[in-house]
């Protein structure tokens, strides 16, 4: 049996009105096992969005969202297609501004500072992003990771001097043991899972405070997905991680907190166990129960 997908237990869930107990729809998530549940005691807020609204012309993609992002935790943004997850994620490091017609209202705060007051290149170093499709540069493994360091002002630095930080990033991404003796190999010759971990290493080379992951496993096989999920859990110790995922089992396995969005609005936010097992809103219960996708 696939250890990632044991059969779902039978359960019942309670929705909005406490006296109403409805049978759960076929659960999407209950088969998954929480990989490393965390009991969060001291919470340090790394980021916060306040009354965040993002529009594309007349289209309101994100509508008045308030949400904290905590250090040392994985926050999963979940919700049906088109509910605004990616838009919200891309707003955190101001990438969304690159989309023609996009406009933002509300405030985004990183370590107490309004992100609008932070120089954008430096902001994107502090808040790195990894995308759905692995997108290594067509250069060697070494140069992919060194790229971020060279961009940071080490352009003329010799390879030997970059070796330590490159190695550190590859180790943090769980790749060093696999590629450490072959750093000149073209990155595009790596497997898909390795390429995605290389992209994570590249993101980590800039030593970010927040790591944004937009469906990072959707192009990967189950084994590579499991490797990256374990990696995310290790990384959260030193970072804040925000992940967009369609895969509810994945969110259940790795998220500390979950934000469920629907039609641009934040419907429910809380500890992953609560959102999945004791949702407060009918819409959340339906979604995590697999009634719609
Ligand atoms: N560049 C754009 N121009 C116009 N509308 C857009 C643009 N990008 C996204 N949208 C719209 O904004 C809304 C939110 O999109 P977004 O991609 O953030 O949702 P999502 O929840 O990430 O969806 P998915 O899970 O399918 O990736 C959708 O209605 C989408 O069609």
Domain count within the chain = 1
Q: Which ligand 1 atom is nearest residue 83's CA?
A: 21
Distance between first and last Cα of the chain: 25
> Residue 250 C-alpha to ligand 1 middle, in angstroms?
21
Which CATH number goes with the domain that contains 215? 3.40.50.300
pLDDT at position 157, please? Answer: 79
Radius of gyration of the chain (CA): 20
- Residue 6 counted as domain residue: no
Rounded to two decimals, the pTM is 0.88
Nearest of 262, 254, 68, 225 to residue 276 by alpha carbon: 254
The Cα 115–Cα 91 span in angstroms is 10
| Probe residue for ligand 1, chosen from 85, 101, 215 as the CB with the greatest number of ligand atoms within 8 Å | 85
Minimum CA distance residue for ligand 1 atom 6: 56
| Probe residue for ligand 1, chosen from 52, 53, 60, 61 as the CB with the greatest number of ligand atoms within 8 Å | 61
Residue 197 sits at the vertex; the CA angle it makes with 233 and 184, to the nearest 5 degrees, is: 145
> Residue 205 C-alpha to ligand 1 middle, in angstroms?
29
- Residue 293 counted as domain residue: no
- Residue 273 counted as domain residue: yes
* Long-range CB pairs of 14-21, under 8 A, 24+ apart, other chains included: 14/278, 15/279, 15/281, 15/282, 15/285, 16/280, 16/281, 16/282
pLDDT at position 149, please? Answer: 87
ipTM of predicted complex? 0.98
- Residue 47 counted as domain residue: yes
Helix (H), strand (E), coil (C) string for 22-59: EECCCCCCCCCCCCCCCCCCCCCEEEEEEEEEEEECCE
- Residue 99 counted as domain residue: yes
Minimum CA distance residue for ligand 1 atom 11: 61
DSSP state for residue 140 in the 8-state scheme:
B
- Residue 5 counted as domain residue: no
Local mean pLDDT, 10-residue blocks, the chain (293 residues): 36 36 45 63 91 98 98 97 98 96 98 97 95 96 93 76 94 95 97 95 95 95 93 93 96 97 98 96 95 83
Domain that holds residue 194: 12-288
pLDDT at position 292, please? Answer: 84
């Amino acid at each position: 049996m696939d250890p990632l997908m044991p059969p779902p237990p039978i359960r019942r869930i309670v929705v909005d009105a406490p006296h109403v107990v409805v049978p759960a729809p076929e659960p999407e998530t209950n088969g998954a096992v929480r990989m490393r549940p965390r009991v969060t005691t001291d919470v340090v807020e790394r980021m916060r969005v306040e009354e965040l609204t993002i529009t594309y012309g007349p289209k309101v993609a994100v509508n008045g969202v308030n949400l904290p992002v905590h250090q040392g935790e994985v926050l999963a943004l979940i919700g049906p297609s088109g509910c605004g997850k990616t838009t919200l994620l891309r707003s955190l490091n101001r990438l969304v501004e690159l989309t023609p017609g996009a406009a933002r209202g509300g405030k985004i705060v990183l370590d107490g500072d309004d992100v609008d007051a932070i120089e954008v290149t430096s902001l994107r170093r502090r808040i790195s992003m990894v995308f759905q499709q692995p997108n290594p540069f067509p250069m060697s493994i070494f140069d992919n990771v060194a790229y971020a360091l060279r961009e940071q002002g080490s352009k003329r630095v010799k390879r030997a001097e970059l070796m330590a930080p490159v190695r550190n990033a590859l180790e943090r991404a769980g790749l060093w043991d696999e590629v450490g003796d072959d750093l000149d190999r073209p990155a595009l010759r790596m497997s898909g899972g390795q390429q995605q971990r290389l992209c994570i290493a590249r993101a980590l080379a800039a030593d970010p405070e927040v790591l944004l992951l937009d469906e990072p496993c959707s192009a990967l096989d189950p084994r590579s997905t499991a490797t990256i999920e374990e990696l995310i859990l290790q990384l959260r110790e030193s970072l804040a991680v925000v992940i967009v995922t369609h895969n509810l089992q994945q969110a259940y396995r790795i998220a500390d907190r979950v934000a469920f969005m629907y039609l641009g609005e934040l419907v429910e936010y809380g500890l992953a166990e609560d959102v999945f097992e004791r949702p407060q809103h009918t819409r959340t219960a339906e979604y995590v129960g697999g009634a719609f996708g």
